[in-house]
Chains A and B, each alone.
Chain A
Amino acid sequence: MGVISNGTTLLDAGALDSGVATGAMTLLSTVTASSSATVSFTSGINSTYKEYIFKFINVLPASDGVKLKFNLSIDGGSNYNVTKTAANFYAGHLENDSATGFGYDGGLGQSTNDAFGTVGAIGSAADEGCSGFLHLFDPSNTTFVKHFISKVTIYGSNPQSQITYGAGYANTTSAVNAARFNMESGNIASGTIKLYGVS
């Protein structure tokens, strides 16, 4: 059944009409990690949107003191080994106020290795973990490299607030169509990762 108002089709065939304003950020999928070695998104990343946002909410490592990492795929998730160049910096502050830190820390130079979501070591106690977001721009473009920008804040294993600012590009003109998130070692004990498309 369709719904037509004043001559305008609002919805039909189980979907809203494309002309209906719905907001520019659309939730595409949600993955809840539970002792997961990796969390992968192998569908929904295509030419529909020019920008995608991954949001991390209380992502908790199983092992104490590890970093959140990510990688991209151009073959639907068969291989996560896209060549990337990236740069990261951080700001940190210990709970006991004994030290602060700010500066460049860790990047990739034309590497297929996993990129850093955080350069800081995340705490694994029950109330710790990390939250933040990663923007991926125009992944299906076959002319340009694929830029990404991230901000992820952590409760550090050495108790502290630390945020990582990351940016870089997948140095490929092939379409990126999958993304994977994991800890540098051990599982993701729990957490939610959401994928949005931005119109």
Chain B
Amino acid sequence: MGLISNGSTIFDAGAMASGFGGSMVHIKTITISSATDNVQFIHGSSGVVLDSTYKEYIFYLVDMHHNSNSEPEVTFNFSIDGGSNYNVTKTSTSFRAYHAEDGGGGAAGYYAPTDVAQGTGNIPLSFNADGDNDSTMVAFLHLYDPSSTTFVKHFIGQANEVHDLPRCNGNYFAGYCNTTSAVNAVKFNGQYGEGTNGNIDSGKIILLGIN
């Protein structure tokens, strides 16, 4: 049953009509409460929507705490087969701005260790981070039109981490999945030592869809 007011449909078919309500829709929050080596958002699994429903998706990573391995990282990758493989070809660009806690060494510049050129590997969000109890990273990642079978899949992201030195590291990145297949899953990984599998101890990842 629909609900019509003054000729305008407000609700119908179990949903609010277009033009009403907010445009930022919460889809899924995954809370990490014990050590895990990855967090996956797979379309159709556990309430995750990652298809043509939205033209834009945003992942927010909140207070992700790396494990205690030396110089840990949080990385991400994409899948076109529902999470069976996270190995989509990507080209990305990356730069960072940082400033040490002791007030020294502030700088900004391109940072090749966190980019990729037609590679299938994971892209770091945090890199050589700090593992102290109070040291975390935060980030957001915009993913555009993942279900398009015409275009590559653009993404834009930004992270801030407590670096191992210690210092504030602002990491900025953008790129595209160089595929015209639909992307239908995203994975965030705990790693350390620039690529060895590790864990994420705690944190929260929120997936939003944008109408």
A residues apposed to B, CB below 8 Å: 1-3, 11-16, 22-27, 55, 57-58, 60, 91-97, 100-102, 126-133, 151, 153, 155, 159-163, 165, 192, 194, 196
Closest CB in chain B relative to A144 CB, distance in Å: 26
Q: Are B117 and A14 in contact (CB under 8 A)?
A: no
Q: Are B93 and A163 in contact (CB under 8 A)?
A: yes
Interface secondary structure of B, over-half rule: strand
The answer to whether the Cβ of B150 comes within 8 Å of any Cβ in the partner chain is: yes
Q: Are B145 and A153 in contact (CB under 8 A)?
A: no
Residues on A with C-beta less than 8 A from B19 are 27
Q: Given the complex of chains A and B, what is the CA–CA distance between A168 and B54 in angstroms?
A: 30
Q: Are B23 and A25 in contact (CB under 8 A)?
A: yes
Most buried by A among B22, B23, B152: B23
Residues on B with C-beta less than 8 A from A93 are 91-94, 115, 117, 175
Interface secondary structure of A, over-half rule: strand
Residues on B with C-beta less than 8 A from A11 are 3, 5, 10
Q: Given the complex of chains A and B, what is the CA–CA distance between A131 and B150 in angstroms?
A: 14
Known: A93-B175, A102-B95, A153-B175. 18 other contacts (CB 8 A): A11-B5, A14-B5, A14-B8, A16-B10, A16-B20, A23-B23, A25-B210, A57-B145, A91-B93, A91-B110, A93-B93, A126-B150, A132-B156, A151-B156, A153-B154, A153-B176, A155-B176, A163-B172
The answer to whether the Cβ of B31 comes within 8 Å of any Cβ in the partner chain is: no
Residues on B with C-beta less than 8 A from A128 are 151-152
Closest CB in chain B relative to A95 CB, distance in Å: 5
Q: Given the complex of chains A and B, what is the CA–CA distance between A96 and B115 in angstroms?
A: 12
Closest to B7 in A: A14
Decide: A14 near B6, CB < 8 A? Known: A26-B22, A97-B117.
yes
Decide: A58 near B144, CB < 8 A? Known: A94-B117, A97-B117, A151-B156.
yes
Please provide the chain B residues from 150 to 206 with a CB less than 8 Å away from any CB of chain A in the complex.
150-152, 154-156, 172, 174-176, 178, 180
Q: Given the complex of chains A and B, what is the CA–CA distance between A151 and B141 in angstroms?
A: 13
Closest CB in chain A relative to B110 CB, distance in Å: 4
Q: Given the complex of chains A and B, what is the CA–CA distance between A58 and B176 in angstroms?
A: 11
Q: Are A95 and B118 in contact (CB under 8 A)?
A: yes
Residues on A with C-beta less than 8 A from B144 are 57-58, 131
Q: Given the complex of chains A and B, what is the CA–CA distance between A1 and B19 in angstroms?
A: 18
- In the complex, which of the residues A60, A130, A161, A196 contacts B92, with contact meaning CB atoms closer than 8 Å? A161
Q: Are A127 and B152 in contact (CB under 8 A)?
A: yes
Q: Are A27 and B23 in contact (CB under 8 A)?
A: yes
Residues on A with C-beta less than 8 A from B8 are 14-15
Question: Can you name 25 A-B pairs with beta carbons within 8 Å?
Answer: A2-B5, A3-B5, A11-B3, A12-B6, A14-B5, A14-B6, A14-B7, A15-B20, A16-B10, A27-B23, A57-B145, A92-B93, A95-B117, A96-B117, A97-B118, A126-B151, A127-B151, A131-B145, A131-B156, A151-B156, A153-B154, A153-B156, A153-B176, A161-B115, A163-B174
